[in-house]
Structure 1
């Protein structure tokens, strides 16, 4: 019995010593040796706890929008590449990358970013209203648990039913409810406020609210998703994240190495092909310094890679 225990203990020790620490030099080297469509590098300090990074992935699965939009698609009308930033230059918000900080609020950021763009597009650039993630994170109780994650589809439903006020990034002092310190720095869900937290903003909370008319999901069909984006603007997508994604720098991401790290929500702004590999063009919400594309990234298109085409949410703004 003692010999068996000793052998098992030795085996466990050998296994543990062979585990490559995520985001270490060796981990990044393995990624770059295993594939060629994207480049990995360090975006976070090597000593950043993996639990801290995984907490950024706050998109939950299981809730789907019952309203499914269907486009009458003509395949020949879908261009080989499309970039909403170029299609609607009058809407600078499309090119903006926001930062959720330490809060697992990606589900809210992906939503308000797309809402902001869609309202601008629907008004031909006349309305540049930046929706506040704080209003969703703190007040949408049906959405989930604020900084501890939520369902993107519920964020869009909340927009239609309750409206959302304006609010810029942390330390921006912009809009009714700028992103607060407790969420950005401490990862804590802010208290729901039915008033503007920015004392310098001169519009009342209830008057500042902007609404959606309808919210939708869409089928797991590439052309349907493309038709929606090129017609009405960016959409929110949820997908599975693995440890290697945190180290993305450039190229077309494909999961290569590492364990499952949670669900993430982002804003899809277009598509294209790079060196023969089709991709979706996406804005992340980890700041413009993440990666080498100014906070944007590309991920394999057409194979529902990491479930990227499985849960798409969007809506029509009230204009």
Structure 2
């Protein structure tokens, strides 16, 4: 399989690349002068995700020569304040220049969106958080690497009770079943944090003890046999299967997170949880998802998080018409409810406390399975 990329930057036409990528190797060739247009063709989204960060940096370096022309000097003070707030430091001047340009673009997006929100055009607000100097492509490449298994059909084992009366709202945080928000860093381990979050709740419900489980254990050990690739992506059900086969997972305290791939260091003496099986819910059913969240606990799901509106989300009920059913990010549904007349899913992310509402996002519920949130739900049992 080959994936061809041609990237052309109109402001820097000397930098033109043709990328020929295979699953086994990649090489780069100069394309020549003044191609007629820019195009992008891809046959495998995961390959695209792996090299997107390199491509972004190629364009950033290309455009940095024009940076001083485009930079808004009236924002210098606010740029410094933002860097100080989030502890941002850049090794090279060109890197800071490029980041500043991205930051200004995101700031414009946030400002215009919030203006529209004030006029009743949106149900959520945006904010310049710690990801404000990144593009959506970078965020997806570095932090959202969900690998949906190719096997079909899924083993849907959930038994629904359509006659059951469900509560209008649910928040498992209030029942002490949700650990603190984690930060996965520049590692595509969202799937691991989603999986341990679901199992942590089951441990609490069974034992009365809330213990953070080791996402690093999954990153390092739930690998080739399960189709997971550590920081290059994985899937929650495959993580559950590893815990079943391994007869356990270590605690976070004994096997801390490092945001990088490492050698498996599972130690049965530090085992903090086990898993007997996992349950998969019907594809695309928000009713089944609501029932499972209400009756069983937090549920692991995949979503489309590929839009700047997602990583810059601040508060409100997230609904972006451009969101698709193609999931690329693993998160945890810990509840549901209604805010200002809009149904939502309460979702725990793994991008730190600076993301969204203290690490959480309320995503539109009963809005056509928004962002594919009900496509691949699952939860473990002890």
TM over 0.5: yes
> How many angstroms apart in 2 are the aligned matches of 1:95 and 1:315?
16
| Alignment equivalent of 2:170, drawn from 63, 79, 82 | 82
> How many angstroms apart in 2 are the aligned matches of 1:259 and 1:231?
28
Which residue of the partner structure matches residue 320 of structure 2? Answer: 255
Which residue of the partner structure matches residue 213 of structure 1? Answer: 276
> How many angstroms apart in 2 are the aligned matches of 1:41 and 1:122?
38
Q: For the aligned residues, what is the CA RMSD?
A: 3.0
Change (3 A) 1:246 1:305: same
Q: Is the 8 A contact 2:220 2:262 kept in 1?
A: yes
Task: Give the drift of 1:207.
Answer: 5.9
Q: Is the 8 A contact 1:130 1:166 kept in 2?
A: no
Aligned length: 276
Long gaps (5+) in structure 1: 10-15, 169-173, 196-204
Q: Is the 8 A contact 2:179 2:200 kept in 1?
A: no
> How many angstroms apart in 2 are the aligned matches of 1:252 and 1:139?
36
How do 1:56-67 and structure 2 match up within 5 A? 56-63=143-150, 65-67=154-156
TM-score by length of 2: 0.65
TM-score by length of 1: 0.77
Which is bigger in relative contact order (C-alpha 8 A, separation at least 6)? Answer: 1
Change (3 A) 1:6 1:286: closer
Q: Tell me whether 1:114 sits opposite 2:198 in the alignment.
A: yes
> How many angstroms apart in 1 are the aligned matches of 2:126 and 2:355?
12
Task: Give the drift of 1:128.
Answer: 3.0
* Stretch of structure 1 that moved more, 146-155 or 34-43: 34-43
Which residue of the partner structure matches residue 381 of structure 2? Answer: 316
Give a deviation string over 1:82-139, Cα, whole Å, max 9, x none.
Answer: 11122x23x4xx152111121110000000011011111123x1x3332210111111
Change (3 A) 1:8 1:267: same
* Structure 1 counterpart SS, 2:290: helix
After superposing on structure 2, the runs of 4+ consecutive aligned residues of structure 1 that deviate more than 4 Å are 5-9, 20-23, 256-262
> How many angstroms apart in 1 are the aligned matches of 2:135 and 2:325?
15
Which residue of the partner structure matches residue 193 of structure 1? Answer: 265
Change (3 A) 1:272 1:95: farther
Long gaps (5+) in structure 2: 1-32, 38-62, 64-69, 71-100
* Stretch of structure 1 that moved more, 43-52 or 242-251: 43-52
> How many angstroms apart in 2 are the aligned matches of 1:27 and 1:221?
33
Change (3 A) 1:78 1:95: same
Which residue of the partner structure matches residue 199 of structure 1? Answer: none
> How many angstroms apart in 2 are the aligned matches of 1:223 and 1:156?
23
Which residue of the partner structure matches residue 167 of structure 1? Answer: 251
Which residue of the partner structure matches residue 68 of structure 1? Answer: 157
